Amino acid sequence: MNNQVGTLKKAAKRTQLKFRYSSLKPNERLRAKMLQRLVHKLIRTYTILPQVPATIQLLFTALQFIRMRRRLLTNYCPLVHVRLQRTNMSRLNFPVQLCWGRLRFRKKHLGNLMLAFGIDDRTKVTLENGSRINAGECFLFMLARIASLQTLEQHEKFWGWTNDVLSRMFSYMISRIYYGFKHLIQDSLNFWQPSFAYFIRCFQKSINLPVPVGCLQVGCSWDATIIGVANPGGGIIQQVLWNGKDRVHAIKFGNLAFPNGMIGDMQDCEAGSRHDEVQVTSSDINDRLNIVQNNAGIVLAEHMIAYADKGLMNRSHIRSAFRGRHDNLALWQVRENMVMKAPRGVSSELPFGEIIQQSKFISYKNGLKIQMMAVNQIYIVAAIMHNAHVCIYGSKVSEYFDCQAPKLYDYMQCAARGIPFFDC
């Protein structure tokens, strides 16, 4: 049995290397692709039919058809259905050695994390198809899904649910966290306002002295990033999503990054074809920074401002790098660009990289189908989880600026929600 399966696996691999779709007719391509999927599915799951020799012969005939461009007319026997064993995964029985690799959190912190997000292991949620599943299991699967590049079929055996149920679990938890906690990064400037003076001091310490006169009040940075998505399939949507600079279909997010490594403000996405100026205007970040500090009674000369790259215009609370070649700039302008380059890059670029590192699901553009899933919600939730991760474990940005991030209990505003105190 093992020898036959091994021989089949080698034959399938050779066929995959030699196979070219361009050598087949259109009606034969689909049939050949289905046969390849059948072969690899049998190899992966080992669900070989009861008549093993006959099955092996059938598959070898299919492989021969792919090579010789002949039609294969045969009656397929149904595959043996393998019942998945329910694992009822929760934070208590989740393997300790797999927590950091699969969830990006330590097991000792899962309880406090679920408590902060209002997830109770003892309650069950009802999905769209009527399935009742433990809320804690949905939350853990959401963490595992965004932290890896595995497909739903690869998650089936570990979690004990079919791919359609896993897909609904993921969509349910993404929507629940997005609508319940998106205010943490979309309407949180009032929460961060008492720390603005602390951010200015931390930012100034990282700048080589003397600090440029125009950057004395810089305490954060603003930048935009694109997230590649799958080709939407033509039409006006494809034209809107196409980013000519990076040559990819994408959506764009703007980020106000603080020196403690956390994302302070991130609004919903814009189309990948839009300029960064559109993101600044739609998010109204300049006026909101002004209003929140005026309401706190801070003098205008002491307002914290954000630093951005040279692609943006200068505003009252957003200072951009100077454009042009060094030959066309004054000496003090060249020096300001050079001095502010490293702090701006660390504070604004590293958080984007850490989000991709912790949430690999959003790094695979072919898996992000803009018309089939809520890509905007998935990235916002990934950013919220990044902030929670920084609260617990810190980040390279906070080490660079020597700026301490708040505790998870304070960031999630657990005291106002009546959640008992926990030290995390």
Q: Are residues 165 and 268 part of one domain?
A: no
**Please, are residues 385 and 146 in contact by the beta-carbon 8 Å criterion?**
yes
Q: Among 17, 50, 68, which residue terminates a domain?
A: 68
The whole domain housing 319 covers: 184-411
Structural domain contains residue 79: no
pLDDT score recorded for residue 424: 81
Q: Are residues 264 and 287 part of one domain?
A: yes
Structural domain contains residue 74: no
pLDDT score recorded for residue 329: 84
Kindly list the distances between the CA atom of residue 424 and the CA atoms of 81, 109, 333, in Å, as whole numbers in the listed order. 45, 8, 44
Q: Are residues 353 and 236 part of one domain?
A: yes
- C-alpha span between 186 and 173 (Å, rounded): 19
Q: Are residues 173 and 190 part of one domain?
A: no
pLDDT score recorded for residue 215: 85
Q: Among 68, 83, 106, which residue terminates a domain?
A: 68
Structural domain contains residue 81: no
Residue keyed to tokens 């657990």? 414
Query: Helical H runs in 22-134?
Result: 26-45, 52-68, 96-103, 107-116
How many other C-beta atoms are found inside a 10 Å radius of the C-beta of residue 284? Answer: 11
Q: Among 157, 181, 205, which residue terminates a domain?
A: 181
pLDDT score recorded for residue 54: 52
Q: Are residues 204 and 156 part of one domain?
A: no
Q: Are residues 206 and 297 part of one domain?
A: yes
Q: Are residues 152 and 188 part of one domain?
A: no
In sequence order, what are the residues at sequence separation of 6 or more whose Cβ sits closer than 8 angstroms to the Cβ of residue 344? 221, 223, 307, 308, 309, 321
Q: Are residues 188 and 177 part of one domain?
A: no
Residue keyed to tokens 């002295």? 209
Structural domain contains residue 299: yes
Structural domain contains residue 364: yes
Q: Write out the chain's pLDDT in tens, 424 residues.
A: 455 555 555 555 554 434 444 444 555 555 556 666 665 555 554 444 444 445 555 555 555 555 444 333 333 334 333 456 666 777 778 888 889 999 999 999 999 999 999 998 888 999 988 888 999 999 999 999 999 999 898 898 888 888 899 999 999 999 999 999 999 999 899 999 999 999 999 998 888 778 888 888 999 999 999 999 998 887 888 889 999 888 999 999 999 999 999 999 998 899 999 888 998 999 999 999 999 999 999 999 899 999 998 888 889 999 998 887 777 888 888 888 888 888 888 998 899 999 999 999 999 989 899 888 999 999 999 999 999 999 999 999 999 999 999 999 999 999 999 999 888 8
Q: Are residues 45 and 166 part of one domain?
A: no
pLDDT score recorded for residue 207: 85
- C-alpha span between 272 and 304 (Å, rounded): 29
Threshold 0.85, pTM exceeds: no
248 DSSP β-pair partners? 243
**For the chain, what is the domain count?**
3
Structural domain contains residue 248: yes
Structural domain contains residue 406: yes
Q: Are residues 125 and 211 part of one domain?
A: no
CA dihedral 410→412→417→423, nearest 10 degrees, is -50
Q: Are residues 255 and 383 part of one domain?
A: yes
One DSSP character per residue, 360-423 reads GGGG-GGG--TTTS-HHHHHHHHHHHHHHHHHHH--HHHHHHT-PPPPHHHHTTTTTTTPPP--
pLDDT score recorded for residue 212: 82
Q: Are residues 251 and 201 part of one domain?
A: yes
Structural domain contains residue 237: yes
Residue 63's φ and ψ, nearest 5 degrees, are -65, -40
